[in-house]
């Protein structure tokens, strides 16, 4: 059962009761992410997420970890492009502890100067590690190439230059400005009573005000980004070439999101997908190949990743484009559509068997829709997608002049890069 209450200060409390479970997952979500940062602030939201676990007025960082470990629970956080979440998962009997811990770090974190320096080192290592993982790093490069100078394209962890420049006052001022009640959602799922949850959160967070640092007017990152196109080679000494080919997709609330789910899954969402069967199974040109889709409040993108040999890069790109053309020309069978719909429905419902996945589900529904979208409705809408829906969407998205190709690998010499670029430009225009 889903319930929603808005506290007097604007904080939203949403919950999904699951009385047949023993666990409860609870998260404090803030509608602030890396897209809400200026260029000089890039990475500060992620840095703050780390700092909130480094001690409060009542607890040291070690005590926060010890109290949760003592009950076998989990406490963690993550930062995305559009929001930050601090969450805990415990047995229902330990929910008061989870609420106390989360409220304490959210309201009373100390931002200790020594902890800031230690965590700065950790985050710089995190950035370096990401750059040393090419199949992940190419996605960061693609995002920058695709979104150009818009904040939504910048890396969530920030850059070495920005992370090194942050001072304690920068964290305090940003925290006051962005962690406003109107941007906060408390989401919970599991063996919990909504009225009890609302009472507890009102007692702890009900007095939170604007903290005296509210922003005036819209933030730079809240404007809709313009998406680019072109070919962007990035040279790095690697054994493989890593490819991301992408285009504009759909936003979170776009009416065409259900055909988009089916299209993405059919294209490269599993071992039976078009890309996996054609590029890996039939031709052996890539160990890893898949499609991916990211949706935000106002935009989204659909892309394809492949890791292959440098010499096979042009061939793999052409194979990807060929599969896109086939989908746009209605090369889909009824059996393929039904299989893909079953895959989507089954994976979604299996993914919602835990309280933490339901907690995330109800929070994201509140963020992007302002209400709960029932799973029965989602399943019905997926099952209702037709072949014509997919072909129409494919023709809307697969436009040769609006594709971005990001390449990461050891492309030796200008002639090789120019040749590859010319070939790709021709392919996109065909």
Distance CA 79, CA 83 (A): 6
CA torsion 407-408-411-417 (nearest 10°) is 20
- Structure token pair of residue 125: 């290592």
- Structure token pair of residue 159: 């850059």
Region of residue 187 (phi > 0: left; psi between -120 and 50: alpha; otherwise: beta):
beta
Q: What is the DSSP letter of 400?
A: G
**Is 49 an annotated catalytic residue?**
yes
Distance CA 219, CA 217 (A): 7
417 phi and psi angles, rounded to 5 deg: -65, -45
Let me know: does 226 contact 404? Beta carbons within 8 Å: no
Distance CA 271, CA 277 (A): 7
* 182 CB neighbour count, 10 Å cutoff: 12
302 phi and psi angles, rounded to 5 deg: -120, 135
- Structure token pair of residue 70: 């003592």
* 277 CB neighbour count, 10 Å cutoff: 16
How do strand 184-190 and strand 12-17 relate by DSSP bridges? parallel
Q: What is the DSSP letter of 281?
A: I
* 93 CB neighbour count, 10 Å cutoff: 11
Distance CA 265, CA 8 (A): 42
The active-site residue, picked from 17, 31, 37, 49, is: 49
Distance CA 143, CA 408 (A): 13
The catalytic site residues sit at 49
């Amino acid at each position: 059962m889903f319930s929603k209450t808005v506290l007097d200060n604007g904080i939203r409390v949403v919950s999904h009761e699951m009385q047949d479970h023993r666990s409860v997952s609870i998260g404090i979500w803030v509608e602030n992410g890396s897209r809400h940062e200026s260029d000089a602030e890039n990475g500060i939201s992620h840095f703050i997420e780390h700092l909130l676990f480094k001690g409060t007025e009542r607890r040291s960082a070690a005590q926060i970890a010890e109290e949760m470990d003592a009950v076998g629970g989990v406490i963690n956080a993550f930062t995305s492009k559009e929001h930050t979440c601090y969450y805990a998962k415990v047995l229902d009997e330990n929910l008061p502890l989870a609420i106390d811990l989360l409220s304490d770090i959210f309201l009373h974190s100390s931002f200790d100067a020594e902890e800031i320096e230690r965590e700065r080192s950790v985050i710089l290592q995190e950035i370096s590690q990401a750059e040393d993982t090419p199949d992940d790093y190419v996605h960061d490069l693609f995002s920058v190439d695709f979104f150009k100078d818009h904040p939504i394209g910048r890396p969530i962890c920030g850059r070495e230059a920005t992370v090194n420049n942050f001072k304690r006052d920068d964290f305090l001022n940003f925290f006051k400005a962005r962690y406003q009640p109107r941007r906060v959602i408390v989401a919970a799922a599991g063996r919990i009573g909504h009225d009890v949850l609302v009472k507890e959160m009102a007692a702890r967070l009900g007095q939170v005000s604007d903290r005296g640092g509210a922003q005036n007017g819209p933030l730079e990152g809240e404007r809709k980004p313009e998406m680019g196109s072109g070919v962007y080679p990035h040279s790095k000494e690697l054994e493989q070439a890593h490819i991301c080919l992408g285009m504009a997709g759909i936003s979170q609330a776009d009416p065409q999101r259900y055909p988009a789910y089916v299209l993405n899954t059919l294209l490269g969402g599993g071992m039976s997908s078009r890309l996996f069967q054609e590029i890996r199974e039939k031709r052996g040109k890539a160990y890893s190949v898949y499609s991916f889709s990211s949706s935000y409040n106002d935009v989204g993108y659909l892309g394809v990743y492949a890791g292959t040999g440098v010499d096979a890069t042009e061939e793999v790109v052409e194979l990807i484009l060929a599969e896109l053309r086939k989908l746009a020309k209605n090369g889909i069978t009824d059996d393929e559509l039904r299989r893909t719909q079953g895959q989507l429905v089954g994976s979604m419902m299996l993914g919602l068997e835990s309280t933490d996945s339901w907690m995330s589900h109800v929070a994201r529904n509140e963020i992007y829709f302002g209400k709960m979208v029932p799973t029965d409705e989602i399943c019905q809408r997926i099952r209702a997608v037709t072949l014509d829906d997919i072909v129409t969407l494919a023709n809307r998205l697969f436009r040769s002049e609006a594709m971005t190709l990001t390449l990461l690998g050891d492309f030796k010499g200008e002639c090789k890069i120019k040749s590859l670029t010319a070939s790709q430009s021709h392919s996109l225009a065909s």
